[in-house]
């Protein structure tokens, strides 16, 4: 068997599974838990690990049959999308796995090898086959040519593994120069990891202008910051309104009694989304205090209804229904702002988000086409949505496409708040605690169940009059829930 044939057979035998893009454009994920270890037998479709992205926790199935050859990362490690995380021996009966002839001389080719048939990513996710191969770097004037093991070491480092040892006696192979007429100048894409590319984009830095200092010409975070610093210094200063790009570190009074926890996953995504929403959409918040005594009586009656047996019936269910009926009366509130085209997109469907507090942070999954559902259907989906979110099993699809949201701060005993819009949505309704309070009812002061509602909305989409009418209608329905029938 020739060295080339042996190397090909070895590559086909050891199949490598790369971290897929499980969240529609996310650049990294944290490995929460491995369900297998080296030596375990796995089957096509078997879940091998659980990872947490910026949106949710997701279980990853392996697309191969065989025996686990190696796990490349420990639990708790954050891995870039496209990095190999597990290798599987698809032909364990062929004997021990050894190094194939010629493998040490070109490990980068093996790392980038990917079968042309089935891709080692989740269905519907991942990059195209052509995008997984890195182009050869163009020779720089005055820079000595790198040997193949150095390029292989660079590729291995980018994939999160230690660089392979270089060959003891590298042999230079003369290559005939290409005909000058066939050379076409091509601008090469700078080498950088996905998080570094995102940092450059956020700071408005063109990576092609950054001087790389990393191994093999890789652009690092420090390189991007260094490139940003001269640009800031050159900009004309405006003392009254200038905002520094670099944030000063938090001062420590007693570091021994302080804890630092890295912000990642769902909490990091939530923080970024809230900042973007708060400083992009002009928020307006209005409040109304309402007597919901009749709604509380209806909740007790519905709990005894055979048609709702086994379903979770609570005040939030009727608040959600009241919100949906009010939107039906004022459909203009159900819209989105398209910044790219400077258009308002009106939507003839309502995907109702429910903010849920989970151990991993705030999640806002939504009920698709909530406005078209009956009360039993709404109760079923609401119960499933909350349970799934608390278990940390909400899928990215369940958290996309929302149009409006409800946040129930009343469960924490809070009267009300000023909620921030979920990015891309037009309104969010905060429901406060329902308490017995003295209330004037039919000319007499009586103890009644009272709550305060707060509605935040995007003032680009919803004028004050429209927002006020929407909130007033929600309150009117909760005050007299029979309007669910007459208005619905």
Catalytic residues: 459
Q: How far apart are CA 157 and CA 167, in angstroms?
A: 17
Report whether 13 contacts 5 (CB < 8 A): no
- Which residue in 429, 152, 93, 184 sits closest to 288, CA to CA? 429
DSSP conformational letter for 334: S
Q: Given the structure tokens 């066939």, which residue do they identify?
A: 182
What are the percentages of helix, strand and coil residues in the chain, rounded to 5?
35, 20, 45
Of 29, 25, 48, nearest to 37 (Cα)? 48
| Rounded to 5°, angle at Cα 156 from 152 and 162 | 115
- Burial class, 248, CB count within 10 angstroms (exposed 0-12 / middle 13-18 / buried 19+): exposed
Kindly write down the DSSP assignment for every residue of 177-220, as one continuous string: PPPGGG----PPPPEE-HHHHHHHHHHT--GGGS---STTSEE-
**Is the Cα torsion angle 474, 477, 480, 481 positive or negative in sign?**
negative
Say how many C-beta atoms besides its own lie within 10 A of residue 114's C-beta: 18
Token pair of 130, please? 């052509």
State how far the Cα of 94 lies from the Cα of 114, in Å rounded to an integer.
21
Measured CA to CA, the distance from residue 412 to residue 428 in angstroms comes to: 18
Residue of 397, 398, 432 lying closest to 414 (CA atoms): 432
Query: Are the CB atoms for 351 and 403 separated by under 8 Å?
Result: yes
Please, which residues have CB within 8 angstroms of residue 423's CB and are 6 or more apart in sequence? Answer: 273, 276, 277, 280, 281
Radius of gyration of the CA atoms of the chain, in A: 29
45, two tokens: 């479709």
CA–CA distance, 477 with 470 (Å, rounded to integer): 11
Phi and psi for 348 in degrees, rounded to 5?
-95, 20
DSSP conformation class of 310? T
Between the alpha carbon of residue 190 and those of residues 45, 54, 356, the distances in Å are: 36, 26, 41
């Amino acid at each position: 068997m020739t060295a080339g044939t042996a190397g090909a057979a070895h590559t086909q035998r050891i199949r490598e599974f790369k971290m897929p893009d499980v969240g529609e454009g996310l650049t990294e994920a944290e490995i929460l838990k491995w369900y297998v270890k080296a030596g375990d037998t796995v089957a096509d479709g078997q879940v091998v690990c659980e990872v947490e992205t910026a949106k949710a926790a997701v279980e990853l199935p392996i697309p191969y049959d065989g025996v686990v050859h190696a796990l490349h990362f420990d639990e708790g490690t954050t891995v870039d999308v496209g990095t190999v995380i597990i290798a599987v021996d698809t032909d364990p009966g062929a004997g021990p796995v050894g190094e194939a002839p010629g493998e040490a001389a070109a490990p980068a080719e093996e790392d980038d090898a990917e079968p042309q048939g089935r891709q080692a990513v989740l269905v519907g996710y991942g990059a195209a086959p052509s995008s997984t191969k890195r182009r050869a770097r163009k020779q720089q004037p005055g820079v000595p040519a790198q040997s193949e093991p150095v390029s292989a070491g660079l590729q291995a480092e980018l994939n999160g593994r230690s660089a392979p040892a270089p060959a003891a006696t590298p042999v230079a192979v003369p290559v005939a120069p290409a005909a000058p007429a066939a050379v076409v100048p091509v601008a090469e894409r700078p080498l950088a990891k996905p998080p570094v590319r995102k940092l450059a984009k956020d700071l408005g830095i063109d990576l092609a202008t950054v001087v790389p200092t990393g191994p093999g010409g890789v652009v690092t975070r420090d390189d991007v910051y260094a490139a940003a610093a001269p640009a800031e210094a050159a900009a004309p200063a405006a003392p009254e309104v200038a905002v520094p790009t670099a944030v000063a570190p938090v001062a420590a009074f007693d570091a021994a009694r302080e804890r630092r926890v890295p912000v990642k996953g769902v909490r990091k995504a939530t923080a970024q989304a809230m900042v973007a929403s708060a400083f992009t959409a002009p928020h307006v918040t209005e409040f109304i205090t309402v007597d919901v005594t009749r709604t509380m009586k209806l909740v007790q009656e519905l709990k005894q209804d055979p048609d709702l047996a086994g379903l979770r019936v609570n005040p939030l269910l009727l608040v959600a229904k009241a919100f949906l009926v009010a939107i039906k009366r004022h459909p203009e509130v159900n819209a989105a702002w398209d910044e790219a085209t400077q258009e308002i997109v009106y939507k003839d469907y309502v995907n109702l988000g429910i903010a849920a507090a989970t151990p991993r942070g705030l999640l806002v999954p939504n009920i698709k086409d909530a406005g078209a559902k009956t009360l039993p259907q709404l109760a079923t989906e609401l119960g499933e949505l909350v349970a799934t979110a608390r278990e940390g099993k909400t899928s990215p699809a369940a958290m996309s496409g929302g149009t409006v949201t409800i946040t129930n701060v009343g469960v924490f005993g809070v009267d009300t708040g000023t909620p921030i819009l979920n990015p891309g949505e037009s309104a969010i309704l905060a429901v406060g605690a329902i308490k017995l309070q003295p209330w004037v009812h039919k000319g007499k002061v009586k103890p009644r169940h009272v709550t305060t509602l707060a509605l935040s909305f995007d003032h680009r989409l919803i004028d004050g009059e429209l927002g006020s009418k929407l909130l007033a209608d929600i309150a009117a329905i909760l005050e007299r829930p029979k309007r669910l029938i007459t208005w619905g």
